[in-house]
Amino acid sequence: NAGVTQTPKFQVLKTGQSMTLQCAQDMNHEYMSWYRQDPGMGLRLIHYSVGAGITDQGEVPNGYNVSRSTTEDFPLRLLSAAPSQTSVYFCASRSGQVTGDEQFFGPGTRLTVL
- Residues of this chain that interact with other proteins (CB under 8 A) are 31, 33, 35, 40-45, 48, 50, 56, 58-59, 90, 96-100, 102-103, 105-108
**Ramachandran assignment for 53, one of left (phi > 0), alpha (psi -120 to 50 degrees), beta (any other):** left
Q: Which is nearer to other proteins, 54 or 114 (CB)?
A: 54
Q: In this structure, how many other beta carbons lie within 10 angstroms of the beta carbon of residue 46?
A: 24
Q: Least distance (Å) from other proteins to the CB of residue 78?
A: 20
Judged by CB, which is closer to other proteins: 16, or 107? 107
| Residue closer to other proteins, measured from CB, 2 or 98 | 98
CA pair distance 32, 93, nearest whole angstrom: 4
